[in-house]
Amino acid sequence: MFNPERETLPREEIEKIQLIGLRKTLRYLKNSPSKLKDKYKGIEPEDIHSLDDLKNLPFITKDDLRECYPFNHIAVDLSECARMHMSSGTTGVPVINAMTRNDIIQWGEIMARCLATAGLTYRDKIQIMPSFGLFNGGFGFHYGAERLGCFIVPAGAGRSLMQLKLIKDLGVTAFGAIASYPARLIEVAKESGFDFRETKLRVAILGAETWSDEYRKRIEEEMGVKTFDIIGLTETGGVGLGIDCEAKAGIHVWEDHYIVEIIDSETEKPLSVLQEGEMVITTLTREGLPLIRYRTRDISKILTYEKCSCGRTHIRVDRIKGRTDDMLKVKGVNFYPSQVEQILLKYKGLSPYYQLVIETIKGKDDMTIIVEKADNGITQGEIEKLNLELYDFLGFRSKIQVVPEGTIQRVPGKAIRIVDKRKKA
């Protein structure tokens, strides 16, 4: 089983588990072949008296892991590992997570909890749409669904027409996908006269990208499903770190396996509840790549440590707003693409396909928002209203270019939201 009874432990119990897990992870790392252990010279597990002492430990960054490429950060001999996954690494050196057999069992446990939190049981048929490969998504869903006892349709990425056919013919009730993919499925469904209401589909579990509440609303309406936001990183052991529940009141992170902190990226000081900053994760049960205070670059905030209306007692963090790497700075204003998406998708005449093109014109930043029209399109009056709303949010004027459906290139994997031509200049 996946220890669901641990999801409702009282806070004192959770904290006890975390303190033991933290000391154990530190001891384990110090005695391992991992190069990361150099960080803990002079720091002993016995020095940690309470969870509060965590803040005195050094951080691990993505660059630390990159420097260890391919395997110098792995804490066991590779002969003890079963498999690896790798971060997408679109920029520079990728990061490998080599997993032991126990790690894969742990992954199955946290993923099974996520799927159960989304309302799935062994009776569900789940179609897995992320790829099965170096990217961890496909396998993560697979292990969780297997642990829960679901019927698995391991479709993998792409081939949208076939995805739709399988959903209908096989009576699929749930699917897991990269967040931007349902937009493509909806588009192909429209082109081919496919009606989601004629299927048994009721749940969509989406992750790997930031997606706005407006996008969420749209997917739920058009597909007739409930959506759930799932998070996780290759480094922390893959998808399944946490998920939001029926209450839609934040993402539960499984605290018997992880400790969550939010820090100020600049000062590196821990922030308190409701203060927005960078999420930092400590793993408590991982063997191949145990991490203490790993800086995820994801921007979120702790919402509450209180028990949720779903009955779970594990911490809730806000839906991820963006990655520090995705943060745009245009005309001195900092923002995330998902915040622009949230404004765009309030307009029914615009599709979820958009790109922010930033360039330098006459020595100054200039941003054009290219967005595809949907269905009946958008009126001039609405565009003016949208312009005003964007100006209110951004504090500078951007150009809006509405283009016909299908203009923006459909790419396999994560959507390309930003085209920043300034860097090339």
Counting contacts by CB under 5 A, is residue 271 touching Zn ion?
Answer: no
Counting contacts by CB under 5 A, is residue 245 touching Zn ion?
Answer: yes
Decide: helix, strand or coil at residue 368: strand
Counting contacts by CB under 5 A, is residue 306 touching Zn ion?
Answer: no
With contacts defined by CB under 5 A, how many residues of the chain interact with Zn ion? 5
Instruction: For residue 98, give both structure tokens.
Output: 């080599």
Complex with Zn ion: residue 250 or 322, whichever CB lies closer: 250
Complex with Zn ion: residue 281 or 315, whichever CB lies closer: 315
Which residues lie closer than 8 Å to 332 by C-beta, 6 or more apart?
Answer: none
Question: b/e per residue, 324-338, with b = 16+ CB within 10 A?
Answer: eebebebeeeebbbb
- Cα separations (Å) of 142 from 89, 98, 117, 303, 352? 23, 18, 16, 30, 28
Min separation Cβ 314 and Zn ion, Å: 8
Counting contacts by CB under 5 A, is residue 308 touching Zn ion?
Answer: yes
Min separation Cβ 26 and Zn ion, Å: 30
Min separation Cβ 244 and Zn ion, Å: 7
**d(C-alpha 158, C-alpha 135), whole Å:** 14
Complex with Zn ion: residue 245 or 317, whichever CB lies closer: 245
Counting contacts by CB under 5 A, is residue 247 touching Zn ion?
Answer: yes
The helix or strand, by DSSP H or E, that contains position 17, with its residue range, turns out to be helix 11-30
Counting contacts by CB under 5 A, is residue 333 touching Zn ion?
Answer: no
**d(C-alpha 150, C-alpha 140), whole Å:** 14
Instruction: For residue 204, give both structure tokens.
Output: 């969509």
Counting contacts by CB under 5 A, is residue 314 touching Zn ion?
Answer: no
Candidate ranges 67-75, 126-134, 301-309, 412-420; the one touching Zn ion (CB under 5 A): 301-309
Instruction: For residue 255, give both structure tokens.
Output: 């605290």
Q: Which of 411, 390, 396, 395 has its CA nearest to residue 345?
A: 390
Complex with Zn ion: residue 109 or 372, whichever CB lies closer: 109
Complex with Zn ion: residue 195 or 306, whichever CB lies closer: 306
- When binding is defined by CB under 5 A, the residue of 271, 310, 383, 408 that contacts Zn ion is 310
> Which residues lie near Zn ion (CB under 5 A)?
245, 247, 308, 310, 312
